[in-house]
Structure 1
Amino acid sequence: MTQIRSLFATRLYQASLSDHGKIDTAELEASCYSIADDDEAGQEWCEANGYPGYTSYASLTDLPWRFPIFADLVTALDAHVAAFARDLEFDLGDRGLVLEDIWINILPEGGSHGSHIHPHSVISGTTYVAMPGGTSALKLEDPRLPMMMAAPTRNRECREELKSFIYVTPEAGEVLLWESWLRHEVPMNMAEDDRISVSFNYRWD
């Protein structure tokens, strides 16, 4: 009897942020712009490093302290991450997954964010604040890709679990979570308006 199984799953969590607490996305968007306008160090870092738009990744580490809306956001994210950890069946022992860092991303028309992973953390993710029509999806890469040197390409309409790349276009108010070793990128924003998101890492502590 022939049996074919799918092994070594890569899990992707997608949910409405409001499943674990009400977050005012309009207030969150206004707060992102307010912080970006005031963060001269972040603006200088973006300019020096050729980063399109704005990110607070290299400049601010205290967003939940600066604006109460971010403290509320972290409370909701904690619950989402806990739910994802249960799905992953992690044995965390007497330690938990705690927020390591959280940062704002404002990507204007023509901006992109190259392929990368998030070392030194366990779960990473993004919650989406503004996703204008035509903006870029999140591109996720099969982590086995470097080992497929001689493999033929897949059929264009192959099953999702067999694709080399997956594109996910979340809506504003949604959150995506993945294990931090999963390589991902944000292709060029083709929309005229800003693509705004808040990204974060959780470590095992």
Structure 2
Amino acid sequence: MSQISSLFVTRLYRAALSDHKPAVDAAELEASCFSIAGDDEAGQEWCEENGYPGYTSYASLTDLPWRFPIFADLVKALDAHVAAFAGELQFDLGGKALELEDIWINILPEGGIHTSHLHPHSVISGTTYVAMPEGTSAIRFEDPRHPMMMAAPPRRADASEDQRTFVYVTPQVGEVLLWESWLRHEVPMNMSEDERVSVSFNYKWT
């Protein structure tokens, strides 16, 4: 009798941000994101110069938790989520810790996209969702083996999630998603008239 095993499993962590304390007020976080975007002239200029739709603080602000107490609270909650995910991944951290490397705001308007990419210098990456209007983009993850499947036929339309080449996940406001940083992902075009707001981050092994 044949036996089939699943090898080299790719994990995706999904949880309510509120599963770990401190509590982060969703309305305050959203207001803070828009306030920061309105004041961050360097970030606005970078987005315009680089053709980035909407706004990101990725290239301009590196100290959000220091500037805004709500981001400091957010990081404390994220630290607990990342520790839980690291345990699920069975990492041997050798007495070291996974620590926040960077955290940034994303505001994606109608028609905006965030093309396929990965985060090669980090260990765990993720996003928590601040505003997800009806009809806005999911996040799409790509099977990391995809570039090696040069002669493989396509998957059936009814293939199970763990066998698909691409998996779409539609998060809810207040959720956090975590994945290993080598996992390629993208945000397809925002088809909603309203802005999609999220906060993304990377953790490194120190």
Q: How far apart are 1:56 and its partner, in Å? A: 0.1
Whether 1:83 aligns to 2:106 is no
Give the TM-score of the pair, scaled to structure 1: 0.99
| 1:12 counterpart letter in structure 2 | L
Residue of structure 2 equivalent to 1:92: 93
Query: Matched residues in 1 for 2:29 and 2:197: separation?
Result: 10
Residue of structure 1 equivalent to 2:161: 160
Residue of structure 1 equivalent to 2:2: 2
User: Deviations along 1:84-132, whole A, 9 cap, x unmatched?
Assistant: 0000000001211000000000000000000000011000000000000
Query: Matched residues in 2 for 1:142 and 1:12: separation?
Result: 12
| 1:132 counterpart letter in structure 2 | P
Q: Secondary structure at the match of 2:46?
A: helix
User: Deviations along 1:23-52, whole A, 9 cap, x unmatched?
Assistant: 111000000000000000000000000000
- Structure 2 alignment gaps of length 5 or more: none
Residue of structure 1 equivalent to 2:31: 30
Aligned residue pairs, count? 205
Q: Secondary structure at the match of 1:89?
A: coil
Whether 1:20 aligns to 2:20 is yes
Residue of structure 1 equivalent to 2:69: 68
Query: Matched residues in 2 for 1:187 and 1:155: separation?
Result: 22
User: Deviations along 1:53-111, whole A, 9 cap, x unmatched?
Assistant: 00000000000011110000000000000000000000001211000000000000000
Query: Matched residues in 2 for 1:5 and 1:40: separation?
Result: 53
Query: Matched residues in 2 for 1:98 and 1:142: separation?
Result: 26
For residues 1-205 of structure 1, what are the structure 2 equivalents within 5 Å? 1-21=1-21, 22-205=23-206
Q: Secondary structure at the match of 1:198?
A: strand
Q: CA RMSD in A?
A: 0.5
Q: How far apart are 1:148 and its partner, in Å? A: 0.4
Give the TM-score of the pair, scaled to structure 2: 0.99
| 1:173 counterpart letter in structure 2 | G
| 2:199 counterpart letter in structure 1 | V
- Structure 1 alignment gaps of length 5 or more: none
Query: Matched residues in 2 for 1:105 and 1:158: separation?
Result: 32
Query: Matched residues in 2 for 1:168 and 1:183: separation?
Result: 14
Identity of aligned residues (%): 78
Q: How far apart are 1:2 and its partner, in Å? A: 1.1
